[in-house]
Structure 1
Amino acid sequence: MPGSPPLCRRPRDLRRGAALTLAFLAAVGTAAGTGCWDRADAVDTAGVLVARTHDKTAGAPAAGTADRDAVARAAAEAAAEGKSGKKAAQDVVSRSGDRWGMVYDQNEYAAFAEDLDGRWTGVGLWAERRTDGRIEVDRVQPGSPASRAGLRAGDRLLSVDGKGVTGRSVADVVALLRGEAGTPVVLGLSRAGADFTETVRRQQLRVEPVTVRRLADGVTVIKVASFTRGSGERVRDAVRAAPPGAGLMLDLRGNPGGLVTEAVTAASAFLDGGLVATYDVRGSERALYARPGGDTARPLVALVDGGTMSAAELVAGALQDRGRAVTVGSRTFGKGSVQMPTELPDGSVAELTVGTYRTPAGRSLDGRGIDPDLSAAEGTEERARKVLGGLRVGP
Structure 2
Amino acid sequence: MMRFEGTDASMISPTWFDSQTILDGIRRWVEIETPTDAPAQVNRLVSLVADHYRDLPVALERVAGVDGCGDHLIARSAWGQDEPGILILSHLDTVHPMGFIERLPFKIEGDSAFGPGIYDMKGGAYIAHHAFRALCTAGDRSPLGITHMFTSDEEIGSPTSRALIEKEGRKAKYVLVTEPARDGGKIVTGRKGVGRFEVFITGVPAHAGTRPQDGRSAIRELANVIQTLEGMNDLKHGVTVNVGVVHGGTRPNVTPEEAHAEVDLRVPSFADAEEFVGRILGLTSKTEGVTVKVTGELNRPPYEKSNAGAALYEHARTLATEIGFELIDSHTGGGSDGNFTAAHTATLDGLGVDGKGAHTHYEQLYVSSLEPRARLLHRLYQTLR
TM-score, with structure 2 as normaliser: 0.24
Higher helix share: 2
For normalisation by structure 1, the TM-score amounts to 0.23
| Higher percent of residues as strand | 1
